[in-house]
């Protein structure tokens, strides 16, 4: 890969980390295993991207909190409860943002609506983003290693696997063909009115 291609890959992995979830660091880890990207740089790019995405969602909650509550009045009780939880546990809310599956967008917005101090939120989210990025990027790298080991064993048995697949496809074809012939014979012998 050229320098520009690698830079574009790092930027894309970082920018999409907040939206893709675990897919971004896992793919980055696989690319690092293939030696297309550097593992430490992938971890840094994903952590920075998810941290900046969390700050953006926090800002949306902080600046648009009233508009959000007016726009969805039925969700008001849930919003009020989430604000109370965030105010009671500001550090837990900030640290848990990346690991709160299904709440990665809602929780930063709730932190902004709750007017959580930006310094607390930024520090907690940074720690959370770094830990999350490290865990899932290394997991992606490890999966690449495991996949390569598995494929190495599969390559030794390619002809056997190919033969088995041909037999299975042929058997499925024969079964489906017999079923089709039986159905057509039944229709000819017992026509519907």
Q: What are phi and psi of 170, to 5 degrees?
A: -65, -40
pTM: 0.71
Give the 3-state secondary structure of residue 76.
helix
Other CB atoms within a 10 A radius of the CB of residue 43 amount to 23
Per-domain residue ranges of the chain: 3-151, 157-189
**Average pLDDT of span 129-142:** 93
- The pLDDT of residue 39: 93
- Based on its alpha-carbon atoms, the radius of gyration of the chain, rounded to whole angstroms, reads 26
Cβ-contact 140, 43 below 8 angstroms = no
Q: Does residue 69 have a pLDDT over 60?
A: yes
Cβ-contact 39, 29 below 8 angstroms = yes
**Cβ contacts of residue 113 below 8 Å, gap of 6+?**
61, 62, 65, 68, 69, 79, 83
Rounded distance between C-alpha atoms, residue 69 and residue 111, angstroms: 14
pLDDT, the chain, mean: 86
């Amino acid at each position: 890969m050229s320098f520009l291609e690698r830079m574009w890959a790092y930027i894309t992995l970082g920018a999409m980390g907040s939206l893709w979830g675990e897919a971004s660091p896992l793919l980055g880890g696989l690319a690092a295993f293939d030696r297309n990207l550097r593992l430490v740089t992938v971890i840094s790019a994903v952590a920075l991207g998810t941290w900046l995405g969390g700050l953006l969602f926090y800002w949306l909650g902080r600046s648009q909190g009233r508009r959000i509550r007016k726009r969805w009045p039925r969700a008001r009780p849930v919003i009020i409860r989430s604000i109370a939880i965030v105010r009671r546990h500001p550090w837990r809310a900030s640290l848990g943002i990346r690991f709160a599956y299904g709440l990665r967008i809602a929780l930063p917005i709730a932190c902004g609506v709750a007017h959580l101090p930006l310094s607390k939120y930024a520090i907690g989210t940074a720690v959370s983003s770094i830990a999350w990025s490290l865990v899932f990027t290394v997991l992606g790298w490890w999966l690449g290693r495991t996949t390569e080991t598995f494929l190495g064993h599969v390559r030794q048995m390619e002809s056997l696997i190919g033969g088995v697949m041909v037999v299975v496809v042929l058997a499925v074809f024969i079964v489906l063909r017999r079923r089709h012939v039986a159905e057509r014979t039944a229709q000819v012998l017992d026509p519907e009115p």
